[in-house]
Structure 1
Amino acid sequence: MNTTYQIPATTHLGEVSLRIMNLNRSIKFYTEVVGLKLLERSDKLATLTADGKQSLLRLEELTDGITLPERSHAGLYHFAILLPDRKSLGLALRNLAASGIDIGQGDHLVSEAFYISDPDQNGIEIYADRARDTWKRDSDNNYVMASDPVDVESLFAISENEPWQGLPAGTVIGHVHFHVRSLEEARNYYTGILGFDIVGNFANMSALFVSAGGYHHHLGLNIWAGVNAPVNPDNATGIDYFTIVYATQEQLDQALEQLRQSGAVVTQVEGTWFTVDPQNIRIRLTTAN
């Protein structure tokens, strides 16, 4: 294993796949409340999109599935949908408020975010970034972040009289955030093997943020479900996989070789590469084209 391997700066995240209990219910939620559009569906599977072309979310209905209590296991805390601008966030907030669901919020200094849960208690963040040149780092090179109240009034004002047409083209998966069994184990895997950079070592919050290319985080890792929390079983609702997107085939090949040298199991399913992290979360590895 190449211990100096660093993930390429152009790497970003792609499609997230969730296990859910009722496909029709979830499609209704993700189209009407979140604002995604149905791309394809079959009996037990559906994909959703913002631009009508690229799948951002894959939903798989379980047969005889279960839903475990929140914060009882390692696995998904939330996946985060990144909107292209602040006006889009204001429009999304208007639609969320009109739906009547519970909404959490946080001004994180690097971004403004709202938090909801889907019908299967999968956590969702919907957010917009502030300009990167406003992001600040502390003396330990961690991004300075907070959880201040969002200026909701200005978001409503900036989106006033604009029609809601769902999430716009340019919407992407910004990051994923997981409950992990051990921060050390997760750090060794995501930085030591996959090559992400630490951008937030928040020991006081029992959390670690890592990213590629100086982003404020592509992965959030925490032990809020408890150290050595059990992994989420395959028959339970939650995350099935998330996707790491490399710019070129050469970069993907380097990442696959790094995983193999580390002893990780790498498998190919219908032409697509997968591996599994220490939380039993599958990682789909692909290229941008």
Structure 2
Amino acid sequence: MITGINHLTFTVSNLNRSIGFYTDLLGLRLHVCWDSGAYLTAGDCWLCLSLGEPRPAGDYTHAAFSVSDDQLPILRERLGEAGVTEWKQNTSEGDSIYLLDPDGHQLELHSGSLASRLEALKEAPYKGLVWC
């Protein structure tokens, strides 16, 4: 049985640029890097950057990272100053920043949780919502 997400891997076109983006702007911790990749962590989330030819999803597919309520405004300002592109505006419960990494991978920085989302759905359910 699946017990959780083990790691995420993003293909990147420029390893040094992506390492800088994820460490300097987003605050991930770099553990190791080599000619064609790197391992970083965001809390308990393991992220692998793999050098290649990226083909980011053109749909709603994205990776969402948890951010505390007090850190999200700081990140929003830092990302704005760096000229990072936002691909969507938040319309759901919990504050979020939807941004693109240097290769166009869609990311979300989110300050809510599943529990807070489910609580919000009690007040404003999605069309066709079924509680299981």
TM-score, normalised by the number of residues in structure 1: 0.38
Quickly say closer, same or farther: Cα 1:114–1:142, change in 2 above 3 A.
farther
CA contact (8 A) 1:35 1:92 kept: no
Q: Give the CA RMSD over aligned residues.
A: 3.0
Question: Identity of paired residues, percent?
Answer: 26
1:14 and 1:100, CA in 2 relative to 1: closer, same or farther beyond 3 A?
same
The match for 1:19 is: 11
**2:105, 2:75 → 1: CA distance?**
18
Query: CA shift at 1:37, angstroms?
Result: 2.0
Tell me how far apart the structure 2 counterparts of residues 18 and 27 of structure 1 sit (CA, whole Å).
11
In the aligned structure 2, how far is the partner of 1:36 from the partner of 1:115?
A: 17
Q: Please state if 1:134 is matched with 2:119.
A: yes
Counterpart amino acid of residue 51 in structure 2: E
**Cα distance in 2 between the residues matched to 1:13 and 1:69:** 20
Q: Within the alignment, does 1:97 sit opposite 2:89 as a pair?
A: no
Length-normalised TM-score, structure 2: 0.75
- Which residue of structure 2 aligns with residue 219 of structure 1? none
CA contact (8 A) 1:39 1:55 kept: no
Out of 32, 37, 46, the position equivalent to 2:29 is 37
Which of structures 1 and 2 has the bigger CA Rg? 1
AA partner of residue 25 (structure 1): R
Matched with 2:50 is 60
Which among 41, 47, 52 is matched to residue 39 of structure 2? 47
Residue in structure 2 matched with residue 264 of structure 1 by the alignment? none
Using the TM superposition, give the Cα deviation of residue 22 of structure 1 relative to its aligned residue in structure 2, in angstroms: 1.5
Cα 1:106–1:32, aligned 2, differ >3 Å: closer, same or farther? Answer: same
- C-alpha separation between the residues in 2 aligned to 1:69 and 1:92? 23
Distance 2:24 2:56 in 1: 25
Task: Give unpaired runs (5+ residues) of structure 1.
Answer: 1-6, 144-196, 198-289
Aligned positions, number: 126
Tell me the distance in 1 between the aligned counterparts of 2:97 and 2:19: 20
Q: Which runs of 4+ in 1 moved over 4 A?
A: 67-70
Shift of 1:50: 3.1
RCO higher in structure (CA 8 A, sep ≥6): 1
Deviation of 1:68 (Å): 4.5
User: Which runs of 5 or more residues in structure 2 are unaligned?
Assistant: none
